[in-house]
Every structure is written in structure tokens, then in C-alpha cells.
């Protein structure tokens, strides 16, 4: 590593869990102290990111974390608003701070020391290290801890247990009340032989949540949508198999990191990118389409996070 830089990794994002967890997943594998920076960028700068006029450090809202030296040896960013700040740190450190960007930055990858996009984005270049899906924070240690933590909640649930991870509307998929009701009917049929652990996400619309709750009423299924501490990791830990709605790359990758059978639940919509992603999971033996029944198969847990982290370690000579 370069001298007189702080031996530290800064994780820089807009603060949403999906973005922050990607960068944290990589950072936690490196063995460096981590500082998490959740950007609060003032208008109009947050609208024009990843571009910026002048130094971005003055574009933060009052009271936001300041980005000042000593500069770290590494910045891992995720999300377009993180890009001006990562590049600004690179410039301020006279090129010594290494900068790594998760996802497709939508600008020339040559600006970065490393870009870690999903394979299905088909991004290429000397600084590009594509992975299947997205990085995440799932490790055997975290799953074991979550299994202990949520034993009281899930131990008595009927086995085999199925975790059901619900996304929501996006530019490529639709999860409205009608689609949720159809999904709920399929899930209800599973309850005769399985214990279901169902979690909605922040993208799950209220009417879709209501339709799912109505469909599962009286089945004994556990349904979480924000009324208690988030048991998401506990669900992954206690599951014998996992269902994931087709709209979520992050949840599918987190499910694949467990090594348990993953079923992709179809939703209205789709795109060539998502088709490539689901095909890559199928080719690795991770996931199959959900057709109403739960299958059993084995595969090596998906660890694209570790593969990308090793690339960063080589970059830093760790």
C-alpha cells in the first residue's frame, strides 16, 4: 500500500441498504478498518451525478459527513452519487488512493482502478472485473450467528422451511395486487407441507403486501413487513430452500450465497439483462424457475464477493 495514506477503506454510497451492502460486502473481506460514509448531496448536484462541476466536497448538505484528509488507501463506492466523491478523493490524494466502483458506473471505467459490475451488464475493459450479480455480506459466520439469534422465532416452524423474498415494482417488472394474489395462491399451496417465512421489501407496494397477507391467512406462515427487528438473515439461515421474486438481483445473490436451492418466482415483465442473469444462476446450478413445487439440489455457495475481494487485495498488495 502507498505510504502516508490512512490504512483504511471508506465505503461511500447514497445510504440505501442495497447499495451500501454491496460495497460493505467487499470491504469486510479485506481486513482493513472501515468507515461508512452515507452521502447527503445538495441539489442540484445530486441530480447531475455522476458529473460534477468543480470540487464535489462543497456539494454536501449542511451537517453531512465531511470528506477530508488524511485520505484512505481505498474507497469503495456504489451508486452514481458516490462517483464524483471517489474521483475527487483520487485527485486530492494525487492518484494514490485506489478507487473501486460497484455496479456499472455509466462513465468510462478507465476513471477507476477497478469496476465490479454484474456480468449481465456486458461491460468490458482493462479495469472491469464482472461478477455474477452483485456483491453481498452473506458469509457462513453471519448465517450461523443469525441462526442462533432467530432460533426462538423459527425453530418451531414446520419443516422443511421455505424463505420467500419478495421484491416489487421496477422498470423491468410489475408486482401489483393481481400478481401478488396469484403468487399468494401458489405460496398457500406450499403451506400444507412447508413452513413459510415471508419477507416484503421497501419496494413491495401496500396493495401487494395486503394481497399476500390475505392469501396466507390461517396457514401458519410467518410474514414480516417491518413490524419487528428484521429477520432476513435468520430466514436465510433457517431455510431449507429459498424463493426469490424475479425482479431482485441482490436478493437472488444473497440466496445463492447460502448454498441452498433457490427458486426464481416469475413476475409480469422482464428484460434481456435479467434473462442473462437468471441464466447465469441456472448455469452455476444455483437457481431454477419456481413451478409450484420445491426441489432439492446441491451446489457450491455462490461467492462472487470473495472472488472480487481477492482482486482488490491484489490491487492493494494486501
**pLDDT tens sequence across 169-228:** 999 999 999 999 999 999 999 999 999 999 998 889 999 999 999 999 999 999 997 777
pLDDT band for 36, please (50, 70, 90 cuts).
Answer: very high
Q: Is the dihedral of CA 218, 223, 226, 228 positive or negative?
A: positive
Cα three-residue angle 284-134-313, rounded to 5 degrees: 100
Domains, the chain, with CATH or none: 6-132+306-316 (3.40.50), 140-289 (3.40.50.2000)
Please give the residue that has the higher pLDDT: either 142 or 64: 142
Q: Is the peptide bond before 302 cis (omega within 30 degrees of 0)?
A: no
pTM beyond 0.85, yes or no: yes
Whether 55 shows a pLDDT value over 90: the answer reads no
Classify burial at 73, counting beta carbons within 10 Å of its beta carbon; exposed 0-12, middle 13-18, buried 19 or more: buried
Amino acid at each position: 500500500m502507498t505510504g502516508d495514506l490512512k490504512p483504511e477503506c471508506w465505503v461511500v454510497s447514497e445510504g440505501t441498504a442495497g447499495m451500501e451492502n454491496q460495497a460493505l460486502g467487499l470491504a469486510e473481506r479485506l481486513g482493513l478498518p472501515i468507515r461508512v460514509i452515507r452521502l447527503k448531496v445538495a441539489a442540484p448536484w445530486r441530480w447531475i451525478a455522476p458529473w460534477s462541476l468543480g470540487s464535489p466536497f462543497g456539494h454536501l448538505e449542511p451537517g453531512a459527513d465531511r470528506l477530508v484528509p488524511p485520505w484512505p488507501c481505498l474507497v469503495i463506492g456504489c451508486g452514481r452519487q458516490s462517483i464524483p466523491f471517489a474521483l475527487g478523493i483520487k485527485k486530492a490524494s494525487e492518484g494514490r488512493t485506489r478507487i473501486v466502483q460497484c455496479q456499472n458506473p455509466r462513465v468510462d471505467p478507465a476513471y477507476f482502478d477497478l469496476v465490479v459490475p454484474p456480468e449481465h451488464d456486458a461491460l468490458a475493459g482493462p479495469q472491469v472485473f464482472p461478477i455474477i450479480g452483485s456483491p453481498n455480506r452473506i458469509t457462513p459466520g453471519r448465517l450461523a450467528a443469525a441462526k442462533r439469534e432467530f432460533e426462538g422465532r423459527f425453530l418451531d416452524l414446520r419443516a422443511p422451511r421455505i424463505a420467500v423474498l419478495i421484491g416489487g415494482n421496477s422498470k423491468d417488472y410489475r408486482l401489483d395486487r393481481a400478481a401478488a394474489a396469484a403468487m399468494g395462491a401458489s405460496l398457500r399451496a406450499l403451506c400444507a407441507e412447508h413452513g413459510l417465512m415471508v419477507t416484503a421489501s421497501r419496494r413491495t407496494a401496500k396493495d401487494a403486501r395486503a394481497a399476500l397477507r390475505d392469501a396466507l391467512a390461517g396457514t401458519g406462515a410467518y410474514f414480516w413487513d417491518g413490524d419487528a427487528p428484521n429477520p432476513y438473515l435468520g430466514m436465510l439461515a433457517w431455510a431449507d430452500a429459498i424463493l426469490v421474486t424475479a425482479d431482485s438481483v441482490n436478493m437472488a445473490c444473497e440466496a445463492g450465497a447460502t448454498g441452498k436451492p433457490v427458486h426464481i418466482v416469475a413476475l409480469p415483465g422482464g428484460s434481456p439483462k435479467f434473462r442473462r442473469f437468471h441464466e447465469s444462476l441456472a448455469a452455476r446450478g444455483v437457481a431454477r424457475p419456481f413451478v409450484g413445487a420445491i426441489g432439492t439440489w446441491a451446489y457450491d455457495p455462490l461467492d462472487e464477493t470473495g472472488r472480487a475481494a481477492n482482486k482488490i487485495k491484489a490491487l492493494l498488495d494486501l
